[in-house]
C-alpha cells in the first residue's frame, strides 16, 4: 500500500496538470476556485489543526496579502509576484503581534477564537475609512495579459499556479508533521501544560505556527486578488473565507495532511452539483447551499469528528483527537 502511494500520487499530480486541456472554461474556473479553497484550508490547518489554536480571524491575513500586493502594484507598479512576498511578511508581522499578545496573556480556546474574530471586525471597520487604499469601494486591478504581473487572459496559468500552491503546501505540511516543530505543535495541542513541562517552548512554537500560517494565507490573498481583479473590505475581511477554511478542514480531517484537500474538494464538488440542481424559480441557490454545508459540518462534528480521512487512516484516534482533545 505505502509502496504504491507515491507512484499513485505522482500520477494524480500529472493528471491534475493535464486537466485544463480536457475541460470546459466554466469547469476550469470551478477547479481554480476549488484549488484556492483547498490552499486556504491547508493554511488554516497549520494553526487550528496542528497547533490547536482555533483562529477565526484568518480572513485578516488573506486581506493583508490581497491589499499589500494590490496597493504596491497599483501605486508603485511593483509586480504582484514580489508584492506577494511583502504581503506575506506583513501578515506574519500582524500574526506575531496578535499571537504574542494572545499567548502572553494566555488567551486560549474559545477566547482565542473570539479574539481573532474580533480582530477581523476591527480591521473591517477601519479599512473602509482609508481612502488611500480604496476605502469602502475597494480596488480594481485592470485586466491585462502580463505574466510578469501575474495577470493572464487565459485561465489556465491561474490553474497551474493554484495547483502548484496546493502541492507545495501539502509537501510543506507533510514535512512539518514529521519535523520536531510539528511534533511540538501536536504536543501543545494535546496538552499545553504537559508539553511545557517536557521542555517545549509553547509560546515560541505557537507564535511560529501563527506566523507561518498567516504568511502562507497572505499568498492566497494575493492570488485571490489577481484572480478576481477586485478587492474590497466587504469581500476580503469577511467571515465567509474563514468559514470555507473551517468547512474544508474539519470535514476532511483536522490536523492531517490530506484533510483540507479532501474536505475542500468534497465541498467544491457539492457546490458544483448544487448549482445544477433544478430548484425552481423562487428558490435561490446561495442560501440552500449554505444550509447544506452547515448541516454537513454539524453532522460530521457529531458522528465523525476526525473527518473523512479518519475513515481510512489507521491511526484514526490521533486525528479525532485534534477536535476532541483538550483545546479548551
Partner 1 sequence: MTDISVVLQVLVSGCLMGLIYALIAVGFTFIFGVLDVVNFAHGQMVMGGMFAAFALYVAFGLDPFVSLIAIAPLFFVLGLVVFRLLIGRIVESTHASHTVVTLGLFIVLENVVNLIYGGDLRGINTSYTSRSLHLGTVSMPIGQLAAAVVAIAVVFGLTLFLNYSSVGMAVRAAASNRLGAQLVGVNVRRVYAITFAIGAALTGIAGAVLAPVLAFDPFIGGSLMLRSFAIAIIGGLGNLPGAIAAALFIGIIESLASLMLKGSLSNAVTFGILMLVLLFRPNGLFVRTSR
**Cβ proximity to partner 1, 11 vs 298, nearer residue:** 298
Closest CB 224 distance from partner 1, rounded Å: 22
| Residue 235 contacts partner 1 per CB under 8 A | no
Does 269 bind partner 1 (CB under 8 A)? Our answer is no
User: Which of residues 105 and 140 has its CB atom nearest to partner 1 in the complex?
Assistant: 105
Taking CB under 8 A as the rule, does residue 126 contact partner 1?
yes
Find the shortest distance in angstroms from Cβ 113 to partner 1: 6
Q: Does 261 bind partner 1 (CB under 8 A)?
A: no
Cβ proximity to partner 1: between 111 and 181 the closer is: 111
Minimum separation from the CB atom of position 154 to partner 1 (A) = 35
Residues within window 289-308 making contact with partner 1, judged by CB under 8 A? 290-291, 293-295, 297-298, 301-302, 305
Quick one: 168 exposed, middle or buried, by C-beta within 10 A (0-12, 13-18, 19+)?
A: middle
Could you tell me which stretch among 20-28, 80-88, 171-179, 284-292 binds partner 1 (CB under 8 A)? 284-292
Size of the site for partner 1 (CB under 8 A): 51
The full 3-state SS of the chain, as one line of letters, equals CHHHHHHHHHHHHHHHHHHHHCCCHHHHHHHHHHHHHHHHHHHHHHHHHHCCCCCCCHHHHHHHHHHHHHHHHHHHCCCHHHHHHHHHHHHHHHHHHHHHHHHHCCCCHHHHHHHHHHHHHHHHHHHHHCHHHCHHHCEECCCCCEHHHCECCCCHHHHHHHHHHHHHHHHHHHHHHHCHHHHHHHHHHHCHHHHHHCCCCHHHHHHHHHHHHHHHHHHHHHHHHHHHCEECHHHHCCHHHHHHHHHHHHHHCCCCCCHHHHHHHHHHHHHHHHHCCCCCCCCCHHHHHHHHHHHHHHHHHHHCCCCHHHHCCCCHHHHHHHHHCCCC
Among 18, 129, 142, 280, binds partner 1 (CB under 8 A): 129
**Which span sits near partner 1 by CB under 8 A: 5-13, 81-89, 222-230, 318-326?**
318-326
Per CB under 8 A, does 250 bind partner 1? yes
Minimum distance between the CB of residue 319 and partner 1, rounded to whole angstroms? 13
Cβ at position 37, least distance to partner 1 in Å: 16
User: Applying CB under 8 A, does 13 fall inside the site for partner 1?
Assistant: no
Provide the β-strand partners of residue 146. 151
56 binds partner 1 (CB under 8 A): yes
Least separation in angstroms between residue 38's CB and partner 1 is: 19
- In the list 10, 23, 26, 118, the residue contacting partner 1 (rule: CB under 8 A) is 118
Cβ at position 284, least distance to partner 1 in Å: 7
Name the region of 47 (left: φ>0; alpha: ψ -120 to 50; beta: rest). alpha
Tell me how far the alpha carbon of residue 87 is from its chain's centroid.
15
Does 58 interact with partner 1 (rule: CB under 8 A)?
A: no
The whole-angstrom separation of Cα 205 and Cα 25 is: 43
Enumerate residues 139-198 that contact partner 1 by CB under 8 A: none
Q: Which residues bind partner 1 (CB under 8 A)?
A: 52, 54, 56, 101-102, 105-107, 109-111, 113-115, 117-119, 121-126, 128-129, 136, 239, 243, 246, 250, 283-284, 286-288, 290-291, 293-295, 297-298, 301-302, 305, 323-328
Amino acid at each position: 500500500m505505502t509502496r504504491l502511494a507515491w507512484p499513485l500520487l505522482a500520477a494524480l499530480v500529472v493528471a491534475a496538470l493535464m486537466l485544463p486541456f480536457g475541460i470546459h472554461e466554466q469547469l476550469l474556473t470551478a477547479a481554480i476556485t476549488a484549488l484556492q479553497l483547498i490552499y486556504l484550508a491547508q493554511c488554516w490547518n497549520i494553526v487550528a489543526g496542528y497547533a490547536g489554536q482555533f483562529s477565526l480571524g484568518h480572513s485578516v491575513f488573506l486581506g493583508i496579502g490581497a491589499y499589500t500586493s494590490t496597493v504596491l502594484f497599483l501605486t508603485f507598479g511593483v509586480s504582484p509576484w514580489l508584492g506577494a512576498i511583502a504581503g506575506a511578511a506583513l501578515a506574519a508581522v500582524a500574526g506575531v503581534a496578535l499571537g504574542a499578545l494572545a499567548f502572553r496573556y494566555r488567551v486560549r480556546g474559545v477566547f482565542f477564537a473570539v479574539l481573532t474574530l474580533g480582530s477581523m471586525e476591527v480591521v473591517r471597520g477601519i479599512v473602509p475609512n482609508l481612502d488611500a487604499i480604496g476605502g469602502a469601494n475597494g480596488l480594481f486591478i485592470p485586466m491585462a495579459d502580463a505574466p510578469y504581473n501575474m495577470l493572464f487572459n487565459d485561465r489556465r496559468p491561474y490553474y497551474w499556479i493554484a495547483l502548484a500552491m496546493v502541492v507545495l503546501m501539502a509537501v510543506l505540511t507533510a514535512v512539518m508533521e514529521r519535523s520536531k516543530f510539528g511534533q511540538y505543535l501536536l504536543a501543545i495541542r494535546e496538552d499545553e501544560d504537559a508539553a511545557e513541562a517536557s521542555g517545549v517552548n509553547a509560546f515560541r512554537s505557537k507564535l511560529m505556527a501563527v506566523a507561518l500560517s498567516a504568511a502562507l494565507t497572505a499568498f492566497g490573498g494575493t492570488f485571490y486578488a489577481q484572480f478576481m481583479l477586485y478587492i474590497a473590505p466587504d469581500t476580503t475581511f469577511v467571515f465567509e473565507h474563514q468559514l470555507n477554511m473551517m468547512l474544508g478542514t474539519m470535514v476532511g480531517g483536522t490536523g492531517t495532511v490530506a484533510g483540507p484537500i479532501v474536505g475542500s474538494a468534497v465541498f467544491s464538488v457539492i457546490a458544483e452539483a448544487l448549482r445544477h440542481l433544478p430548484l425552481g424559480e423562487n428558490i435561490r441557490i446561495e442560501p440552500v447551499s449554505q444550509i447544506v454545508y452547515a448541516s454537513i459540518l454539524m453532522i460530521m462534528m457529531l458522528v465523525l469528528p476526525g473527518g473523512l480521512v479518519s475513515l481510512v487512516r489507521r491511526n484514526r484516534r490521533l486525528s479525532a483527537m485534534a477536535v476532541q482533545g483538550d483545546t479548551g
